[in-house]
């Protein structure tokens, strides 16, 4: 990254765009702590978090999805969600403890699955559901953590027209208490969700503004 400064207001819907290699996912990795910064500062909700580990930033209210879906393929949708919830829970995972013993987390996972329209697939294994359903599950896992800031890395990638429509409705329905920053190449869909747009090129911000401002800028 090259001197990137990104300020996002609470409740905002921000879109990050740019060509492949522009640094979009790298920026997300710096925000989450998956990559260490060389300079500058990273603040979440006004607090300096540059020295915090990824799980510590998650406990501060940060959640994300990834370009490549990261799920446990042989486990059920419900089990994947329970594991996600355990990551922020005071409880510890015990491989010898039956899943039903995590009653509170099971109830919460079913509530979140219903929120994203997947409750009827709760007991299906990941290998038995469609790619679009896996994408929705990944967002469900992030939302289950009750984040204040949600980073979505190409949530529409690889989806059919019908799946994109369902995903668009899901993202549009995320409450305003959650700030959403999204990387996306599907401009027709993503621009309808964004209030402000940041354009990256070779690790630098070249344009930032509303949709009209970005479209009118000669650099784009």
186-195 pLDDT tens trace: 888 888 999 9
Q: Are 103 and 164 in contact (CB under 8 A)?
A: no
Nearest to 167 by CA among 206, 134, 195: 134
Split into its structural domains, the chain has a count of: 1
The CATH number assigned to the domain holding 211 equals: 3.40.50.300
Q: Are 46 and 215 in contact (CB under 8 A)?
A: no
CA trace torsion 121, 124, 125, 126 (10° rounding): -20
This prediction has a pTM of 0.90
Give residue 99's domain range. 13-216
Residue 1 lies in a domain: no
Greater model confidence, 28 or 190: 28
Share of the chain above pLDDT 70, in %: 92
Residue 195 lies in a domain: yes
Q: What's residue 72's pLDDT?
A: 83
Residue 3 lies in a domain: no
74-133 pLDDT tens trace: 899 998 898 888 866 655 545 445 555 656 788 889 999 999 999 999 999 999 999 999
Q: Are 92 and 139 in contact (CB under 8 A)?
A: no
Q: Report the SS3 class of residue 17.
A: strand
Please give the mean pLDDT across all residues of the chain: 89
Residue 5 lies in a domain: no
Residue 7 lies in a domain: no
Residue 23 lies in a domain: yes
Residue 203 lies in a domain: yes
- What is the pLDDT averaged over residues 44-63? 94
The answer, yes or no, to whether residue 40 has pLDDT greater than 70, is yes
């Amino acid at each position: 990254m090259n001197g990137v400064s990104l300020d996002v207001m609470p409740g905002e819907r921000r879109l990050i765009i740019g060509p492949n290699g522009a640094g979009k996912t790298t920026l997300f990795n710096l925000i989450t702590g998956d990559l260490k910064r060389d300079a500058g500062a990273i603040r979440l909700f006004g607090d300096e978090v540059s020295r915090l580990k990824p799980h510590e930033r998650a406990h501060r209210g940060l959640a994300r999805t990834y370009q490549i879906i990261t799920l446990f393929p042989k486990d059920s949708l419900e089990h994947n969600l329970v594991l996600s919830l355990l990551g922020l829970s005071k409880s510890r995972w015990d491989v010898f403890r039956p899943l039903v013993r995590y009653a509170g987390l099971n109830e919460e996972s079913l509530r979140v699955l219903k929120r994203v329209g997947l409750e009827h697939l709760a007991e299906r294994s990941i290998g038995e559901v469609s790619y679009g359903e896996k994408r929705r599950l990944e967002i469900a896992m992030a939302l289950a953590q009750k984040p204040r800031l949600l980073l979505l890395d190409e949530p529409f990638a690889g989806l059919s027209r019908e799946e994109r429509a369902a995903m668009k409705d899901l993202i549009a329905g995320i409450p305003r208490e959650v700030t959403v920053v999204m990387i996306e190449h599907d401009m027709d869909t993503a621009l309808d969700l964004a209030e402000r747009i940041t354009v990256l090129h070779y690790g630098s911000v070249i344009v930032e503004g509303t949709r009209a401002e970005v479209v009118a800028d000669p650099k784009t």
